[in-house]
Amino acid sequence: MGDTKSARPRDPRAGRRSPAAQGDENASTVPGGVRYVAPHVRSAIDRACGGRTAASAAVLAALDPEQRHGWRALPDPLPAIPAGDAQARRVLPRDADPGRALALALCGTGSVQVLCAIARCAPDRIPESPLAGLARLRGGRFRFADAELRVQVLAAATPQERLRAHQLLARVLAGMGESEAALWHRARGAVVGDPTLVEPLLARACAALHDADAGRAWSCATEAAEHASPGTSPHARALLLSGYAALAGGWIGDALERFAQTLRIDRGYRGEAATVFALAHVLRHGTSPARDPRVSAEAIGRGCGFAAVLSAPFGAALGDREPDLRRLMAVVPGADGAIDDGDPLHRVTDALRTGLDGDPDAGIRALADPEPTIGGEPLLGLRAGAPLLRARRAVADVLLHVWAGRIGTAYGLLSASAAELPVALPFGGVAAALCRRLELAVEGRIGRLSLELAAASPWTHDSDGFVDRAIDAYLRGRSDEAAVHMALWADRGMSSERLGLPGLDEVGPLGARMAPEPPEAALARTLRERVRSARESSWRTDLEAVAAESRGIRSPFERARVEAMLGSTAAARGDRGRGVRHLRAALSLFEESGALAWRGMVGRRLRALGVSRLPSAAGTGAPERDPAPSSLEVCRAMWEPILTPRELDVALLMAEGRTNREIALALQVSVRTVEVHGGRVFAKVDVRTRHELTVLAHRTDQHL
């Protein structure tokens, strides 16, 4: 909606970088470019630059760190691209009036009549106009043809040139009867503030908020604040409305700043501003604001309560089993009756609660239902279509698909949503941790998307890194390393796991305390722990009982993990046929869930068992083949899930026929230590002598 006015003095606080943002500068940039940018910000810049990579990179590098993270609105116009001024002057037609070309760029799109007025020609003479090459016509409307050139033209213009171009557009649009558009350009073209423009601009901002158009609401309210007399009631209202617009758009840095400015002015808005200031402070910093004698404790408490509502049901302070939104609202002062059954906050929370109760598909269907067109006043003025609430809904949808076992679908949904919405903000930034788990499950590594989401999360959390590293090691076949990471996680109190995220229980401590999770996930975890603790004397019966109970699990991902544990354990104890059957089932189920990295891990175990012909992964063509594995590879793959690293070393050397003294020398331990480890190996693989251990190893190797 036009550029940011430069001809009038602005509030010296506007655009000031916070100490946190300055500290993030080095962390977010590297020589030659930008390291991490919020995905939705990157997409917006790519669209503005017409998909041209070099231009997008140059604009991103010129942004403030908080703008790159999505915490502040993008500037309008976008920053100048290096050498963009000269290139813009060179590309523009020689006989084109620069002022009218700038007006065309400011307008961006419009009717053919507007184009004719700017170009000063009749419709049939447009092809002969000097501006014809800059516009693309279709269906009686035009748009600026080259997005990158438009960015360059806008950025290269001086403040005086922009003012004149806005004044030209105001005259053109007023003459055509387009009063609303003319009002905007009249405001942008004013050299000094005009208080008569404040109320019309605020009316447009309110209408935009009603339509969930956060960008237009922000532009109109911000422009109204520029025209209002400082310290007056209209000025306070304009700042408050611009804060609401920033909150709706997810620009929590701008929201916090505007609400703080409103608090300083007061003029009857202090109570309302205090509530939303506290909300924005929690979203930005993760803590309630410091006590302020100008603000009542009740207003601060109400704002912090609303912040908990936006994070429900993931708030760490909400208890072991998160309450529904109505129970939570009961503890928010003055919130009674603020929502109804159609409120987007209530619908999302109810959908997640339905998923936690065991029916994620019902929760997905509830989120897919269209929003009601009639309802009460939305909470904090946030409509369902506001980017912040759409992001909250998108993250909930992804999590529900994870609980349903559709890992690949969930990853695709999160990737698509992250490109359009500030998904790093809702639920305390859980999207970054969720994305890491999905990347590991699908791609077998932590990728750029999760790193960018983590950078865009406004405040840090207890690290989930131990579990992430454990999953990564386990999927790469390094179970001993995975067990070490899980043990370290247990030593830290196991308190960092997020609600409902897929973790790792195939290795590490048994009986780990978990956050609330759907019933199927809890059942599958219990079954896997039963497989790990199966008794040597009755392991076949124990595994059969687990297999029977697992058949009722509907999630293909959770069922696959149980099957993989059953297969690995059976093969490690010498029952190759049973092991192959369970591993084949796991392979198929992981394929169905889209967890391709887990599928790859199972495929490697099957190949270690001598299954040389496996079904191909989706879309890869021919069946997978591998050369026959060595005896050491087979034994290690089969015994690794049930033996410690040192026990595995001792077992493999015993299977080679070495004596205890030879093993002690090779491992640089005492003979007594070898005897202790050997006894534990015998108990775990259900043999009584070294001879039986050697026979079992050769039988596993020969796949008999």
Q: Tabulate helix, strand, coil % of the chain (nearest 5).
A: 65, 0, 35
Once rounded to an integer, what is the mean pLDDT over residues 163-171? 92
**627 and 529 fall within a common domain:** yes
User: CA-based Rg of the chain, rounded to a whole angstrom?
Assistant: 31
Residue-wise pLDDT for 272-308, tens only, equals 888 899 889 888 888 888 887 777 888 888 888 778 7
Residue 93 forms part of a structural domain: no
CA distances from residue 5 to 284, 358, 654 in whole angstroms, order as listed: 27, 54, 80
**598 and 684 fall within a common domain:** no
Last residue of a domain, one of 478, 493, 517: 517
Single-letter amino acid, residue 91: V
Handedness of CA 358, 362, 367, 372 (dihedral sign): negative
Distance CA 112, CA 100 (A): 15
Once rounded to an integer, what is the mean pLDDT over residues 355-378? 79
Range of lowest pLDDT (69-78, 335-344, 370-379, 593-602)? 335-344
pLDDT value of position 689: 82
**508 and 529 fall within a common domain:** no
Nearest to 655 by CA among 675, 636, 628, 671: 636
Confidence of residue 556 (pLDDT cuts 50, 70, 90): very high
**531 and 560 fall within a common domain:** yes
Once rounded to an integer, what is the mean pLDDT over residues 514-521? 84
pLDDT value of position 30: 35
pLDDT value of position 369: 80
Confidence of residue 637 (pLDDT cuts 50, 70, 90): low
Distance CA 133, CA 135 (A): 6
Q: Per-residue DSSP letters for 23-56?
A: HHHHHHEETTEES---HHHHHHHHHHTTT-HHHH
Confidence of residue 153 (pLDDT cuts 50, 70, 90): confident
Residue 274 forms part of a structural domain: no
Single-letter amino acid, residue 120: R
Once rounded to an integer, what is the mean pLDDT over residues 555-574? 93
Range of lowest pLDDT (489-498, 563-572, 647-656, 670-679)? 489-498
What percent of the chain lies above the pLDDT cut of 70? 81
**616 and 657 fall within a common domain:** no
Domain that holds residue 420: 336-442
Query: How buried is residue 300: exposed, middle or buried, by Cβ count under 10 Å (0-12/13-18/19+)?
Result: buried
Residue-wise pLDDT for 218-258, tens only, equals 999 999 999 999 999 999 999 999 999 999 999 999 999 99
Q: Which CATH number belongs to the domain containing residue 651 in this structure?
A: 1.10.10.10
The answer to whether 345 and 328 are in contact (CB under 8 A) is: no
Last residue of a domain, one of 411, 442, 473: 442
Nearest to 517 by CA among 532, 503, 507: 503
Residue-wise pLDDT for 503-514, tens only, equals 899 988 887 766
Residue 95 forms part of a structural domain: no
**657 and 608 fall within a common domain:** no
Compare 323 and 680 and report the one with higher pLDDT.
Answer: 680
Angle between helical axes of 465-475 and 426-443 (0-180°, round to 10): 10
Confidence of residue 9 (pLDDT cuts 50, 70, 90): very low
The answer to whether 650 and 683 are in contact (CB under 8 A) is: no
CA distances from residue 165 to 160, 161, 295 in whole angstroms, order as listed: 9, 6, 44
Residue-wise pLDDT for 65-105, tens only, equals 999 999 999 998 888 766 544 455 555 667 778 888 899 99
Distance CA 674, CA 661 (A): 8
Q: Per-residue DSSP letters for 489-531?
A: HHHTTS--PPTT-----SSS-TT-------HHHHHHHHHHHHH
Residue 107 forms part of a structural domain: no
The answer to whether 266 and 298 are in contact (CB under 8 A) is: no
**650 and 608 fall within a common domain:** no
Distance CA 192, CA 692 (A): 94
Residue 8 forms part of a structural domain: no
Q: Per-residue DSSP letters for 569-608?
A: HHHHTT-HHHHHHHHHHHHHHHHHHT-HHHHHHHHHHHHH
**493 and 570 fall within a common domain:** no
What average pLDDT does the chain have? 81
**631 and 534 fall within a common domain:** yes
The answer to whether 592 and 556 are in contact (CB under 8 A) is: yes
pLDDT value of position 552: 93
Residue 395 forms part of a structural domain: yes
Confidence of residue 491 (pLDDT cuts 50, 70, 90): confident
pLDDT value of position 1: 42
Q: Any idea what the Cα angle at residue 559 is, between residues 557 and 564, rounded to 5°?
A: 95
Question: What torsion, rounded to 10 degrees, do the Cα atoms 309, 313, 318, 323 define?
Answer: 90
**530 and 549 fall within a common domain:** yes
Compare 310 and 626 and report the one with higher pLDDT.
Answer: 310
E strand or H helix at 109 = strand 109-111
Residue-wise pLDDT for 181-194, tens only, equals 899 999 999 988 89
As for how many domains the chain has, the answer is 4
Residue-wise pLDDT for 104-134, tens only, equals 999 888 889 999 989 888 888 888 888 888 8
Compare 407 and 76 and report the one with higher pLDDT.
Answer: 407
**550 and 597 fall within a common domain:** yes
DSSP state at residue 81: P
3-state SS, residue 614: strand
3-state SS, residue 327: helix
What percent of the chain lies above the pLDDT cut of 90? 39
Distance CA 466, CA 158 (A): 53
Last residue of a domain, one of 481, 498, 517: 517
Residue 103 forms part of a structural domain: no
**537 and 494 fall within a common domain:** no
Q: Where are the beta strands (DSSP E) in 119-223?
A: 135-138, 141-144
3-state SS, residue 122: coil
Residues in the chain: 704
Residue 374 forms part of a structural domain: yes
Confidence of residue 647 (pLDDT cuts 50, 70, 90): confident
pLDDT value of position 461: 58
